[in-house]
Amino acid sequence: MTSTLPIVDHPSAAREFVTNEPRSHWHDDSLWFVRSKRDKQAQSIPEWEYLREQASTIKNHTIAKLPEYLQQFEANATRLGAVVHWAADAEEHNRIVLELLRRNDTLRIVKSKSMLTEECGLNEYLIDNGIEVVDTDLGERIVQLRGETPSHIVLPAIHIKKEEVGDTFHQHLGTRAGESDPQVLTEAARGHLRGKFLSGEVGITGVNFAIADTGGLVVCTNEGNADLGVSLPRIHIACMGIEKLVPRFQDLSVFTRLLARSATGQPITSYTSHFHGPRDENSELHIVLVDNGRSKIRDSKTFRESLNCIRCGACMNTCPVYRRSGGHSYRATVPGPIGSVLGPAKNAKAHKSLPFACSLCGSCTDVCPVKIPLHHQLLAWRKVLVGKRLVAWNKRMAMKAASFLFRNPTLFAAAGYFGRVSLKVLPKSLTHNRFNTWAKDRDLPEPPKESFHEWYAKNRPSGAATASKEERS
Amino acid sequence: MSEAQSNSRQIILDRLKGCIVDAPELPTIDPARVIQFEDRLQQFQDTLASVGGEAHLVNTPSEIREKLQTIEVFQSARRIASTVPDAVTPTVDLATIDDPHALSTLDWTIVRGEFGVAENGAIWIDGKTLPHRVMIFIAQYLAIVISRSDLLNNMHEAYARIGTPDPGFGVFVSGPSKTADIEQSLVLGAHGCRKLQVFLLP
């Protein structure tokens, strides 16, 4: 989004979600179910780690040679009859799309899922300019009807319960009040969206992979909505970030094996569509290449690998913080671990709390199909944010105090002593006060009787004696 | 390309070229390291079933027709598109249709697939064999006919077999259209076909 975002404080944005305990658990369980399916699929491929290695190397290579591959892609796509557009930022991307629609007197578009258009705020922009925008992915249609944003990049409506979908459909699609059967609700959406597909004048899709050596592009869906959306109208507009390239057609084999398995635990998506040029001589294929901050990330040695992301969402499904706090708490187009790396790269101030919404458990790094060292990058972001003085004052002061304490052994020992004593005697009302946010949902530990120093001083002589005796014998 | 856009093209490329990055070599997949199956046919059938498709072993095109006749939604189908006329006679003449919107009421589509992939139950359909590409997405039910001798192990073999793609369209279809967007409950038949039948000829 191009407008200035409010500065997000993840803990306060997550408060409502985490305090609704049953719902937080329900969300956690839903995503863990997806994560388990992913594990099963990953384990069914003996060469899984080999594939991850290959994918990571291919992506590192592509991002390094990005200018060459972009030009190669442009030349090949143009040769096939597609029109390639370049957009430096979100605003320009939106303008290009609108201009294409205006030129063709378009009033209604059908759109399949694209996190890039979400990032650019395309829907709002087009609607403001009088275009009817219909998201055709069921999950996206649900959040669109509810006036929300997706809370997950693969499962946009994962935060919504079927009863709530029932209410939304009752209100907008006229289904029976109280209907909550997913089968019935999906059927209603199918009928509703059929009409939209048939009246759509232009189909807009995202791009999962673009291929430099052929000039083609690949779109993966389970619902077939991208295909229905672009094979009826005459014009197909495909919007993609410049990092979506792979060098060779054969590289798709690696990525199509990894993507759906990592995302939803399926062996491949139901439809993996390959577009090489427009449908026929009467049709148009427009490809919009968008930078919007990506080239800046590429400049950074530390964060460059985040451009390898193929948007499978596996890091979100496994993240203990994401699973319990919900996608909306990140207030970013891409939430979860990868979103917490990309967000501050776009706007460090607005997203400064996101790298801290992480326990550094490393699970995201373990599941990432392209081996982005996500938790290392999140830690690296913390250092950057401290350097930029973008860390909350209480955290900064606490760190300063801790650093002072660690540098003064006497003070450290004294603080330890007072800590142990006061923990023993102070009433809970004093230790669990409103200034101690750490203790909000935790109990403080039972204080040990003595410090490690004291214990060591007591135990060292005999230990040393044993050692020297052994040496003598 | 407008002037502003050609400017942006230059700006983006300049920015990228301004930062030179060491590139690792592009790897080549070692065929000995990727999955192979003792019984590709069995694997394909099992995987297809796991993604919601139904496989049928047949020996002649007429057997396809016989199998389809046992399916209720085929018996009642009125608008059938078929590019495999020796199995199913079409009731819709695709050659006379200019506007793909006219196919919105298709009940069934029967098409030929080029090959199947055992590891994921996907079938490659070459767009050139489709008079209208929408026919495989818009029909209520889809049947694909492939040959048992055209089953590959994995996606590496699949892309090698396609080689250099021709201009146009091609799609891997693995199972019917589906969604799990409502509380992770799997529902078949989101926008595309409600069911997928795959007929395996010798």
Q: Chain A: residue nearest B137 by CA? A: A228
Q: What is the distance between the alpha carbons of residues A317 and A321, in angstroms, rounded to a whole number?
A: 10
CB B200 within 8 A of CB B121: no
Q: Which helix (H) or strand (E) holds B130?
A: none
Q: What is the distance between the alpha carbons of residues B30 and B175, in angstroms, rounded to a whole number?
A: 29
The pLDDT score that the predictor gives to residue A472 is 47
CB B46 within 8 A of CB B39: no
Angle A21-43/A10-19 helices, nearest 10 degrees?
100
Q: What is the pLDDT of residues A110-146, one digit of tens each?
A: 999 999 999 999 999 999 999 999 999 999 999 999 9
Domain that holds residue B118: 36-90+101-178+192-200
- For residue A222, the SS3 value is coil
Instruction: Name every chain B residue with its beta carbon within 8 A of the beta carbon of A160.
Output: 183
Can you name the residues that pair with B179 across neighbouring β-strands?
Answer: B187
Two structure tokens written together for A315: 């890091």
Domain ranges of chain A: 22-297, 302-388, 409-459
Q: Considering only the C-alpha atoms of chain A, give the largest distance between any 2 of them, rounded to a whole number of Å.
A: 96
Can you name the residues that pair with A109 across neighbouring β-strands?
Answer: A133, A202
- For residue A218, the SS3 value is strand
Q: pLDDT > 90: what percent of chain B?
A: 97
Q: What is the distance between the alpha carbons of residues A347 and A337, in angstroms, rounded to a whole number?
A: 16
Assess whether pLDDT exceeds 60 at residue A327. yes
Taking residues A32-37, report their average pLDDT: 97
A72-86, A320-334, A380-394, B113-127: the lowest-pLDDT one: A380-394
Domain count across chain B = 1
Q: What is the distance between the alpha carbons of residues B6 and A460, in angstroms, rounded to a whole number?
A: 75
Q: Residue B179 and residue A71: Cβ atoms within 8 Å?
A: no
The pLDDT score that the predictor gives to residue A462 is 64
Average pLDDT, chain A: 94
Q: Name the band, by pLDDT with cuts 50, 70 and 90, for residue A463.
A: low
Q: How close B95 comes to chain A (CA, Å)? A: 15
Q: Is residue B26 part of a domain?
A: no
Q: What is the distance between the alpha carbons of residues B87 and B163, in angstroms, rounded to a whole number?
A: 29
Taking residues B3-21, report their average pLDDT: 92
Q: Name the band, by pLDDT with cuts 50, 70 and 90, for residue A3.
A: very low
Nearest to B187 among A34, A50, A182 (CB): A182
Interface test with A, best of B6, B12, B43 (most A CBs within 10 A): B12
ipTM above 0.90, yes or no: yes
CB A157 within 8 A of CB A223: no
Q: How close B86 comes to chain A (CA, Å)? A: 27
Q: Residue A88 and residue B11: Cβ atoms within 8 Å?
A: yes
Q: Residue A61 and residue B171: Cβ atoms within 8 Å?
A: no
Assess whether pLDDT exceeds 90 at residue B71. yes
The pLDDT score that the predictor gives to residue A203 is 98
The pLDDT score that the predictor gives to residue A224 is 96
Q: pLDDT > 70: what percent of chain A?
A: 96
The pLDDT score that the predictor gives to residue A424 is 84
Q: Name the band, by pLDDT with cuts 50, 70 and 90, for residue A303.
A: very high
Interface test with A, best of B2, B28, B137, B154 (most A CBs within 10 A): B137
Q: Which of B123, B27, B18, B112 is nearest to B64 (CA)?
A: B112
Interface test with A, best of B9, B181, B194, B195 (most A CBs within 10 A): B181
Taking residues A347-359, report their average pLDDT: 94
For domain A22-297, give the fold.
Answer: Rossmann fold (3.40.50)
Strand order across the B141-147 sheet: B53-57, B195-201, B141-147, B108-112, B80-82
Instruction: Name every chain A residue with its beta carbon within 8 A of the beta carbon of B119.
Output: 45, 257, 267
Residue B74 is part of a domain; what is its CATH number? Answer: 3.40.50.10420
Taking residues A283-312, report their average pLDDT: 98
Q: Is residue B19 part of a domain?
A: no
Tell which CATH classification among 1.10.3470.10, 1.10.1060.10, 3.40.50.720, 3.10.310.10 matches the domain A302-388.
1.10.1060.10
A35-39, A118-122, A428-432, B5-9: the lowest-pLDDT one: A428-432
The pLDDT score that the predictor gives to residue A433 is 80
- For residue B110, the SS3 value is strand
The pLDDT score that the predictor gives to residue A1 is 41
Q: Is residue B185 part of a domain?
A: no
Q: What is the distance between the alpha carbons of residues A328 and A210, in angstroms, rounded to a whole number?
A: 29
The pLDDT score that the predictor gives to residue A464 is 55
**Residue showing tokens 């006329």:** B85
Taking residues A135-161, report their average pLDDT: 97
Q: What is the distance between the alpha carbons of residues A201 and A134, in angstroms, rounded to a whole number?
A: 11
Nearest to B27 among A57, A158, A182 (CB): A57
Q: What is the pLDDT of residues A238-288, one digit of tens each?
A: 999 999 999 999 999 999 999 999 999 999 999 999 999 999 999 999 999
Amino acid at A268: I
